């Protein structure tokens, strides 16, 4: 709290942010509390009906790099910026998996892609919906753009591989003429200056076999773009199944680090049920107040009130000893249902003396 206060003390040492602390501690169970669907099914003893979000859209954008070398002030320089020339998506819904692609040759191609994404999302929303209308649910449609190369290496398990396309060879200055050509790209077009690597003869021959299936290089570019989105489907499905083992809806959380955090706390509640008996075994010594203890408590309250000039006419008295002795021995904490002990002591209200 002190660190938070120090951080928030601005504006002539005035706290500009307010911290609101919850009144009672709650168990940290993000896989339950952060998912309204699972939370609803859990409290209604219907966990068996819980299902992950299975239908979604992937996308990938291919870009040119345009060198500008523009200064912004004394300390900032923008070397280049990216210009999109092709965008593709693969849609997974209940009935099919299909793809579409738009490129720079089409007017407002990004807007056209966005329009189709929203149309596809309508069906995906229906497919992800529970049949029971009373089940609480978020209806956001996942549209994800994982880097397909990194996803393939990190997750694995896919049967589709990335295509080969000389994306470094194509730039803002030559794309109009190079992509209109019908012949295959030369081997040197695949040189990777960033990694200082060249394509092997075997892999180049494999590329030539694939390239022969297309009429123009534009067709190759579009196919490469689509394949980058299609390759994600199987890998994301693997992630969904992996996370669901821990009762986690991966696409409702999406961040892999957050998923890992939720798995940790989900594992701690593997055998937790709403109707289970979780009364803790209390080994602390039960509270049994004595008259000397009570006299000291009463006198302490009177002394506190006198120092603060508070009215003490309604304070507890020595004559209340038997009443509170029986109360402390028989009553339980209304929050945790535990008996009062010397470690878990009851406290008397010090705001309104009429309450005790």
Nearest to 229 by CA among 125, 122, 113: 113
Measured between alpha carbons, how far is 55 from 167 in angstroms, rounded to an integer?
Answer: 30
Rg of the chain in Å (alpha carbons): 33
Phi, psi (degrees; rounded to nearest 5) at 220: -65, -45
Measured between alpha carbons, how far is 274 from 38 in angstroms, rounded to an integer?
Answer: 13
Helix (H) or strand (E) holding 128: helix 109-128
Per-residue pLDDT of the chain (356 residues; tens, 9 = 90+): 666 666 666 656 665 556 666 665 667 888 888 889 999 998 888 989 999 999 999 999 999 888 888 887 777 888 888 899 999 999 999 999 999 999 999 999 999 999 999 999 999 999 999 999 999 888 899 998 866 555 555 565 566 777 788 988 888 989 999 999 999 999 999 998 878 888 899 999 999 999 999 999 999 999 999 999 998 898 899 889 999 988 899 998 877 788 888 888 888 877 777 667 666 666 778 888 899 999 998 899 889 888 888 888 888 889 999 998 888 888 776 556 677 888 777 776 655 555 54
Tokens in use for 139?
A: 């209806």
In this prediction, residue 141 carries a pLDDT of 93
Hey, how many other C-beta atoms are within 10 angstroms of the C-beta on 270?
A: 8
- Which residue is associated with the tokens 């099919």? 96
Q: Give the number of residues written for the chain.
A: 356
Give yes or no for a contact between 64 and 168, defined as CB atoms under 8 angstroms apart: no
Measured between alpha carbons, how far is 260 from 145 in angstroms, rounded to an integer?
Answer: 20
* CA atoms within a 13 Å half-sphere pointing along the CA-CB vector of 66: 11
| C-alpha distances out from residue 66 to 73, 80, 82, 265, Å | 21, 5, 6, 46
* Single pTM value for the model: 0.68
DSSP state of 332: B
Query: Which residues does 215 contact at the CB level (< 8 Å), separation at least 6?
Result: 182
Number of H helices, E strands in the chain: 12, 6
């Amino acid at each position: 709290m002190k660190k938070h206060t120090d951080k928030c003390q601005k504006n002539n040492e005035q706290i500009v942010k307010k911290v609101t602390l919850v009144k009672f501690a709650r168990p940290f169970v993000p896989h339950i509390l952060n998912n309204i669907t699972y939370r609803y099914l859990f409290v209604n003893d219907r966990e068996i009906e819980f299902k992950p979000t299975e239908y979604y859209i992937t996308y990938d954008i291919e870009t040119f790099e345009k060198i500008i070398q523009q200064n912004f002030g004394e300390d900032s320089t923008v070397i280049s910026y990216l210009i999109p020339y092709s965008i593709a998506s693969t849609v997974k819904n209940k009935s099919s998996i299909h793809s579409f692609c738009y490129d720079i040759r089409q007017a407002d191609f990004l807007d056209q892609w966005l329009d189709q994404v929203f149309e596809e999302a309508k069906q995906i929303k229906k497919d992800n919906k529970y049949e029971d209308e009373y089940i609480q649910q978020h209806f956001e449609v996942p549209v994800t753009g994982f880097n397909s190369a990194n996803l393939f290496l990190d997750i694995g398990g896919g049967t589709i591989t990335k295509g080969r396309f000389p994306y470094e060879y194509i730039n803002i200055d030559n794309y109009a003429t190079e992509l209109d050509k019908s012949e295959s790209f030369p081997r040197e077009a695949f040189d990777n200056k960033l990694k200082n690597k060249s394509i092997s003869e075997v892999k180049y021959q494999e590329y030539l076999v694939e390239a022969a299936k297309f009429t123009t290089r534009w067709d190759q570019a579009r196919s490469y773009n689509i394949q980058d989105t299609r390759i994600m489907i199987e890998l994301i499905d693997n992630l969904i199944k992996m996370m669901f083992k821990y009762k986690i809806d991966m696409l409702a959380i999406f961040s892999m680090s957050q998923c890992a955090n939720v798995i940790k706390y989900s594992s701690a509640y593997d055998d937790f049920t709403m109707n289970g008996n979780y009364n803790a075994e209390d080994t602390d010594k039960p509270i049994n107040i004595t008259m000397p203890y009570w006299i000291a408590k009463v006198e302490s309250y009177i002394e506190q009130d006198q120092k603060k000039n508070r009215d003490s006419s309604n304070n507890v008295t020595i004559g209340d000893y038997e009443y509170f002795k029986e109360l402390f021995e028989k009553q339980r904490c209304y929050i945790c249902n535990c008996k009062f002990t010397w470690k878990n002591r009851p406290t008397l209200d010090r705001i309104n003396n009429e309450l005790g």
